[in-house]
Amino acid sequence: MGRKSITGGVTAKGQGRIQFTFRFEGARYRPTLPILPTEANLRRARQQLERIKRSIANGTFSFAEEFPDFRDLKKVLAEGCPRTCGEVFDLFLAHCQSRVKKGDLATVTVATYRRVLNGIWRPQIGNFRLLDVRHSTLVNIADEPDWSKKTYNNAISVLRRAFKFGFRDHPERHDPTSGLMSARIRKKDRPIIDPFTIHEAEKLIAAIHRDWGEAQGNYDEFRFFTGMRPSEQIALLVADFDAAKGTLTVNKARVAGFDKDSTKTGEDRLIELCPRALAVLTRQLALRARFELAGKIDHDLLFFKQTGEPIRNLQYPYVRWRRTLTQMRNIRYRKPYCARHSSVSWDLMIGKHPLWVAKQHGHTITTMLSVYAAWTEGATETDIKAIKRAVASSPRSSEQAAIAQGTAMGPPPVDSRPLAPVLSPGIEASVKAAPPSSFATGYATRHRQQRAKC
């Protein structure tokens, strides 16, 4: 049997140093520290040695941290370092993936973490030891790119999560990401609410139908008269539409190519469809029936490409929207999300109750009053009547029957010609001939004033 040490692995080395004896990675080491070998110091050194042994057992021991002046440090440095940042990132992502399997985290969230860590941080600090990373190094990396405030905050947030995970093995050490400050998102930094006038919207809807066909035209027309978020609209299933009640269930989304079983706010909602939106769905279901008859559809999605294939990401409708709108004269370009802004603003302008509007669109009542209410100012009776006509336009008689019976009528005759959008009475002529209304003029003025304030 081996002889048990009576010193506990700690002895005096001369008059000014204390020597530690322990085994690491199969080898025995006897490093020293410049500490006076008093009884009190030897007692504390034994406690330190016990902590070192626990770190070795846990795989978190750093020779360089404990004995930076060890003369043979280069021989043990590779074996004596804790995990690198890259290794911590891998462990963190694996942990997140396990949470996805438990239903505790969304797949798109893990995909975002992986994109940020692999695209931004791993190339810069992936080979650094976690415990060697300094706060100033992280600040320099984050400050170098010309990021927006939102992108900056996302990059910092993901790194904080990964480092917090890694430093749970080192509770005695300071986490350098804890001092990273997020950029302040002020009111002027938020996207400007920039709705279309009803005349602009009708022109754009007709142009998209003409340029890209019925499938794309229905998709964009529907977003104007429901105000749905794009990520929610491309995830809609046929079963979400209740033809008898004229409602649509919104309880999921598709973000960055990944399906989520919840909306952006995490709350399900039931949309009451206006006659114009019902007319669009009637045409869409008729188109879907023709595509099914032709063998072009093998999915349950409500909206799809002109070929019948599913819309996998928002880039597909965005490209078509952009190409059509940039070629149109007298209509300033806006992103597709402004169709949602338009729908919310129109509902408020025609006198819908703010609480109902907030519930329909998944907003808070504060958002309704503080963000959108300003756009109701300056609207004339002519503008309001035009919006009411557009929203309340009734489907054709055949379409009303289809709504009442759902898809039970069976597929209609195959017709490859795209159907024109159903414009409300009087709107189609006014779109072509009417001069800009006072609301349109006031709208442009308010838009310039809002940008000037920013």
Task: DSSP for 69-81, please give it.
Answer: T-TTHHHHTTTS-
Dihedral Cα 423, 428, 434, 435, nearest 10 deg? 60
From first CA to last CA, the distance across the chain in angstroms is: 80
User: Which structure tokens are listed for 411?
Assistant: 């597929």
Q: Where are the beta strands (DSSP E) in 122-242?
A: 241-242
Model pLDDT, residue 415? 39
Q: List, as one string, the DSSP characters of 308-323.
A: S-B--STHHHHHHHHH
Task: Give the Cα separation of 154 and 177 in Å (integer).
Answer: 13
What are the residues facing 259 on neighbouring strands? 254
Model pLDDT, residue 106? 81
Model pLDDT, residue 90? 93
Tell which residue, 234, 232, 231, has the closest CA to residue 215. Answer: 234
Residues of the chain with pLDDT under 70: 1-6, 59, 74, 77-82, 187, 189-191, 256-257, 261-266, 367-380, 394-454
Q: What is the pTM of this model?
A: 0.62
Three-class secondary structure of residue 270 per DSSP: strand
Task: Give the Cα separation of 56 and 23 in Å (integer).
Answer: 9
For 104-162, how does the pLDDT look when each residue is reduced to its tens digit (9 = 90+)? 888 888 888 999 999 999 999 998 888 888 999 999 998 888 888 888 999 999 999 99
Question: In the chain, what is the greatest distance between 2 CA atoms, to the nearest angstrom?
Answer: 104
Task: Give the Cα separation of 419 and 410 in Å (integer).
Answer: 18
CB 269 within 8 A of CB 250: yes
Distance of CA 10 to the CA centre of its chain: 55
Quickly name the fold that domain 85-184 has.
DNA polymerase; domain 1 (1.10.150)
Given this chain, do its domains 85-184 and 198-453 carry the same CATH topology?
no
Model pLDDT, residue 371? 66
Model pLDDT, residue 419? 39
**What residue segments make up the domains of the chain, in order of their start?**
10-76, 85-184, 198-453
Right CATH number for 198-453 from 1.20.140.10, 1.10.443.10, 3.90.1300.10, 3.40.50.920? 1.10.443.10
Task: Give the Cα separation of 241 and 220 in Å (integer).
Answer: 17
DSSP 8-state code for residue 123: H
What are the residues facing 242 on neighbouring strands? 247
